[in-house]
Homo-oligomer: A and B are copies of this chain.
Amino acid sequence: MATALDFQRMLRGAALRVTRPRTAVLSAVRAHPHADTDTIIGAVRSRLPKVSHQAVYDSLHTLTAAGLVRRIQPSGSVARYELRVGDNHHHLVCRACGAIADVDCAVGEAPCLTASDDRGYAVDEAEVVYWGLCPDCSTAQSS
Q: Which residues of A contact B (CB under 8 A)?
A: 71-73, 75-76, 79, 90, 92, 94, 101, 103-107, 111-112, 114-135, 138
Contacts and interface: CB of A to CB of B under 8 A. Distances in A.
A24 B83 CA distance: 44
Nearest to A105: B116
Per assembly, the copies of the chain total 2
Q: Which 5 A/B pairs are nearest by Cβ-Cβ distance?
A: A123-B132, A120-B135, A73-B75, A125-B131, A121-B132
Contacts of A124: 131-132
Contacts of A112: 106-107, 111-112, 128
A132 B122 contact: yes
Contact of A79 (B75, B114, B117, B122): B75
Nearest to A104: B116
Given A73-B76, A131-B125, A119 B138 contact: no
B122 A138 contact: yes
Contacts of A126: 128-131
